[in-house]
Structure 1
């Protein structure tokens, strides 16, 4: 189990670096391709759009494939997308390459999470997801700063080339650890899709999309927030990413433990605190020391909510967990795609500092979904003869 989870975590590290590194090299890409910062921000949206489309579509089309060749095909596609990003001669081609790179990520995450959770002890799903998503933390704390450093010194194309090479090496380890088992038995396509008619499943996916929207918008525009609002130089961006990533590691394990103990109450509490911290960011973002502390706390909270959100989907969609997790990943990327557009509009309008305040309001919307879901759980558990873990449509 440990080797399996470790190998999947390493690949998640590579995929996460490929997704988030654009935050550190956004100005470099914009300058080199002669586009504006808001236009370059749409590269975040393109990657997210690939995940949004690929999550449900590719997961459904490949549901009956054995896991080893499926995982290999997904990783090879990601490698091709990152290699094409490194070689893209124009902005439109780079947009297309980022779309391809993101196309298979949601399915990979879904298969990886479902595989890891299937080996977990009862009541330890949240902490197991946290172990796997440690790769996401490391992608931010190590991969993204390193990719930013490479981009600033060797050019942004070298960043995507390095990600492709790393993913190719990680593929070897993944294939050695994933057992060569036959394809999992699943029901009909209609039966798989029927799980999304359950209100708890729909609420869980909406919680992921809305609850992450604010903090993803802030992170996607880290560079202009740090430079234009807080007064940091370009060279300090890798340090700020390291600060954020350090908080993310702590938040990941905190969120896993809280999810195991009190899933929905902890999610609601974390979202409430996150909304408050984002509002504070609007007030203190112009002071460098305060901003540095803020980025650490945002890293903690942004990743503390992830294990609980993934576990919520798994527990409400037991009839089709892999497909549901893939769609949930697409829900997260809906937030990322909208974040790329929203942040650009705010920069062009009231200015980058307003991103913090708008993000706080959006997080409150996610909090309301969490509170409504918690209320449904408590009403259901109070009914005679209905167990707390059972879901209703």
Structure 2
């Protein structure tokens, strides 16, 4: 992308980040409102067992994650040739309608279905927006371009999610989703006004995009992200009862805990973007080591408010730093399938979302308490590191084969 003034470039990036802000709000606001949602939509179960009602309400989070998993590769594969600005506007319009449907659906099954549908554009938006941001930032700054788009999501967790959670606690959770729809409407206007026209890839075909899945290194990168974020979402999905039932805080402090998590995500995203430009693979291993420390700190200290704040901050920071590294790693190993790689990352992260919400809910339902999901997150670090290690070894083998004149495609080592 050339010919844009620095001011216009910043405005375009901010418009893309505003869409990410809306996505962060719609994805994470349920975590702080699960007790209210369970009370409203599952009154009988909530009366007999609030713990089980909250765990069942967590299905909303898993449904959203499943929608991302389905929508990201599907839309990316068939939309790679379309003009990117128009596609982004269409995706944000779909978010607006999906959020309104979530607010208006009268029963729990319909709300779950609405959350699934609302999530379909998630991965495609971030994938296309990341490609646009990378072109705006220029060569050598892909990680920072990805991080800038994701900064909208992380800042949403500092400002948007706590504010909307407080609104939902005071005015009802349905009003919270109406507010989310309003954010998407603003993002749609901002993208229309600020983002320059950018054509799609005229050479893209569904077969070429799907060809990226032929590379084992792509699958291992995706699985690494899924398992890594599974640990984060095991904690994040049940952060409200963790704060109130384990740390003994009043419900009014839940937005404060969410702000702390959002600050951690914002810092982690910025640090992760810079580290990814210096070596994506090294960053992945570093993040998993830090992840293990963060879960341990949270698990041992969450019974005290200060320990809860510190542990949540550390878990959110390390999780958010992992995302730009996985995204950059996927762009390295996907070859020509860049649109698919950019979107599939969000499928992987939301497989982690669904996995974490499910495993966290399972250990809570089994009677292990609201602190148990923290230890689930720690346990998931082990397969995460193993998957990253296998993917790295495959990259090295492919590089060695290519160096000897073989035909296997090169998978860039990204700092290995």
Range class of TM-score, shorter chain: over 0.9
Range 210-219 or range 376-385, more displaced: 376-385
Match of 2:365 among 345, 348, 368: 348
1:176 to partner: Cα distance:
1.3
Counterparts of 2:335 and 2:273 in 1: how far apart (Å)? 19
Q: Provide Cα deviations, 1:65-119, integer angstroms capped at 9, x if missing partner.
A: 2223222221111111111111121111111111111011111111101111123
TM-score, normalising length: structure 2? 0.89
2:382 alignment partner in structure 1: 364
Q: What is the aligned length?
A: 392
2:143–2:276: 8 Å Cα contact kept in structure 1?
Answer: yes
1:391 matched to 2:399: no
Per-residue CA deviations over 1:157-187 (Å, capped at 9, x if unaligned) read 1100011012111110101123334432133
**1:245 Cα deviation (Å)?**
1.0
Deviation of residue 294 (structure 1)? 0.8
The one of 184, 189, 206 equivalent to 1:167 is 184
Task: Output the CA distance in 1 between the equivalents of 2:78 and 2:282.
Answer: 36
Check the 8 A contact 1:212/1:363 in 2, yes or no.
no
Residue correspondence of structure 1 range 271-286 to structure 2 within 5 A: 271-286=288-303
- Give the drift of 1:301: 0.8
Distance (Å, rounded) in 2 between the aligned partners of 1:233 and 1:194: 51
Match of 1:24 in 2: 32
Q: Are residue 120 (structure 1) and residue 120 (structure 2) matched?
A: no
CA–CA separation in structure 2 for the residues paired with 1:250 and 1:340: 24
Aligned mates of 2:411, 2:319 — CA distance in 1? 27
Q: How does 1:190-339 map to 2 (within 5 A)?
A: 190-339=207-356
Select which of 4, 8, 16 maps to 2:12: 4
Counterpart-to-counterpart distance in 2, 1:72 and 1:120: 21
Aligned with residue 42 of structure 1, among 43, 56, 59: 59
C-alpha distance 80-386 of structure 1, shift in aligned 2 (>3 A) = farther
Match of 2:391 in 1: 373
Partner of 1:131: 148
Alignment gaps of 5+ in structure 1: none
Report deviation, 1:223: 0.9
How many Å separate the matches in 1 of 2:176 and 2:40?
14
Kept after mapping to 2: 8 A contact 1:110/1:325 = yes
In structure 2, the gaps of 5 or more residues are 1-8, 46-52
Worse-superposed segment, 111-120 or 64-73: 64-73
In 2 relative to 1, CA 329–92 (structure 1 residues): closer, same or farther, beyond 3 Å?
same
The more displaced of 245-254 and 112-121 is 112-121
CA distance in 2, matches of 1:227, 1:244: 16
Distance in 2 of aligned mates of 1:178 and 1:280: 42
Cα distance between partner residues in 2 of 1:134 and 1:357 = 28
| SS state at 2:200 partner | coil
2:50 aligns with none
Q: CA RMSD in A?
A: 2.0
Give the Å deviation of 1:382: 6.3
| Structure 1 pair 285–84 and aligned structure 2 pair: CA distance change class (3 A) | same
Matched, 1:79 2:99: no
